[in-house]
Chain A
């Protein structure tokens, strides 16, 4: 591992200023992704700016509904928060389905959103990877690509975003509060991550050195009837092979509102707007849910080893929505 300097900033402004001056510095939060990738030689910062002691660790209930979640709130604390469990079960479920108890005690809200892909070629510095080393090629495109993307990939990169949390936040229309060198700004979660396109090394729409300070959840009473369904290769402690975050609001049996997002299918959490269109205003049935998933997945382009992800994602869409439809809404 490359030697690095260590700095603990006094406040957000100083953290952002230090990163603006140091082209090879990185923020360190829970470290569960960054430390791992530094050991592998995939990330080689020469300065770590430790954000763990910044005052960003509160979950606030906002006047008029909604929550503000500080960037360093641990995944375990967020999943256990009473307001999250009551008002946003999809979020608690996504967090609880991720990683392990020990990792969730370290992992933070901000770090989780910016964790890097689990593409095994990205993690192996001996392999060609346009994301790690632009222009070097993509070993996954014609390699072992079972775990990789079926939607929105480019010839340069077929990686997926691994976060479960991000999928739930995409469905909830969360807003990410960031401090960039130019000042603070709000970024809708759905616009935080990029498609790989010509530049898979650019993963987010944030300016270099941007610090995530919080994530805001809108007031969304419908989210009380929400679910996260994750499929993995073993019962626990594994990344998703497919996942869906769903919020369903029924008026009788008519879909008044619905939010759907998919994980493990694309370079970013995939908000399924087209499926939502199909569902809204119609009488709910499992058949309708299947048609909606088909509409969303019509543009899927499976790779050699991951064709199964299309019917899998369709099946979990139907199952998640049908289970929600059968559940009596909370008062």
Chain B
């Protein structure tokens, strides 16, 4: 659908360390802006309704579902997508652990799993509790049950879950 200029906006935000400026129809989600306007096709559209996690990116360092964020709201903010975690020649430790542990089959959910795990590990470092943390006032310990609960927002249709947990566990242990 075409829209007039009242329905579009000029937005400038950081993507993977570089400043990007776009004129966007206000209806454009961050996910669509990344994929269709910036050619960053790592983040995937699984459900487009916040239910699967395949679109997860980091917004100002925090994991979010990019299908539920209108890009017009992001002026001046900073986004890191899976491409910003590390490329084929310089994998981050988390990405290398996913490869080493065979933490995917088709790979569709993987960019979202990686960004989510990245954000989740930072949450643990900050001492955030989860629904399975026994003592809300003590620092969280990263058990497998904690990883499963904290990664519940990322579905994997190939059910690579045990390997995803192992890859994250190893990354956490060697940090």
Known: A4-B26, A101-B120. A85 touches B129 (CB 8 A): yes
Chain B residue contacts of A52, Cβ below 8 A? 73
Partner of A106, one of B69, B128, B137: B69
Interface residue stretch chosen among B82-90, B148-156, B160-168: B148-156
B9 at the interface (CB under 8 A from A): yes
| Cβ A50 vs Cβ B153 within 8 A | no
B50 at the interface (CB under 8 A from A): yes
B81 at the interface (CB under 8 A from A): no
Chain A residue contacts of B153, Cβ below 8 A? 99-103, 237
| Cβ A85 vs Cβ B136 within 8 A | yes
| Cβ B136 vs Cβ A76 within 8 A | no
Q: Which of A28, A35, A80, A103 has the most CB of B within 10 A?
A: A35
8 Å CB interface, A4-30 against B: 4-6, 28, 30
Partner of B152, one of A31, A50, A237: A237
Known: A102-B56, A102-B63, A102-B153. A31 touches B27 (CB 8 A): no
Number of residues in B with C-beta < 8 Å to the partner? 44
Bound-complex Cα distance A236 to B154 (A): 11
| Cβ B50 vs Cβ A36 within 8 A | yes
Number of residues in A with C-beta < 8 Å to the partner? 36
**Number of A-B pairs, beta carbon distance below 8 Å:** 110
8 Å CB interface, A46-62 against B: 48, 50, 52
**1/0 contact string of B42-79 vs chain A (CB within 8 Å):** 00000011100100100100111100111011000000
| Cβ B25 vs Cβ A31 within 8 A | no
Partner of B65, one of A3, A85, A93, A106: A106
| Cβ A39 vs Cβ B64 within 8 A | no
Bound-complex Cα distance A80 to B119 (A): 15
A92 at the interface (CB under 8 A from B): yes
In chain A, what residue has the closest Cβ to B48?
A: A39
**1/0 contact string of B30-42 vs chain A (CB within 8 Å):** 0000000000000
In chain B, what residue has the closest Cβ to A96?
A: B131
Known: A36-B50, A50-B73, A99-B153. A89 touches B63 (CB 8 A): no
| Cβ A36 vs Cβ B49 within 8 A | yes
B175 at the interface (CB under 8 A from A): no
Bound-complex Cα distance A50 to B27 (A): 14
Q: How far is the CB of A251 from chain B (nearest CB, A)?
A: 25
**1/0 contact string of B132-147 vs chain A (CB within 8 Å):** 0100110000000000
Chain A residue contacts of B59, Cβ below 8 A? 105
In chain B, what residue has the closest Cβ to A92?
A: B136
Q: Which of B49, B65, B123, B149 has the most CB of A within 10 A?
A: B65
Bound-complex Cα distance A318 to B127 (A): 32
What would be 10 A-B contacts, judged by CB atoms less than 8 Å apart? A32-B68, A35-B29, A48-B70, A76-B62, A82-B137, A99-B153, A102-B153, A105-B64, A106-B65, A236-B131
Which 5 pairs across A and B sit closest by C-beta, in order of nearness? A100-B153, A236-B152, A3-B7, A237-B152, A85-B136
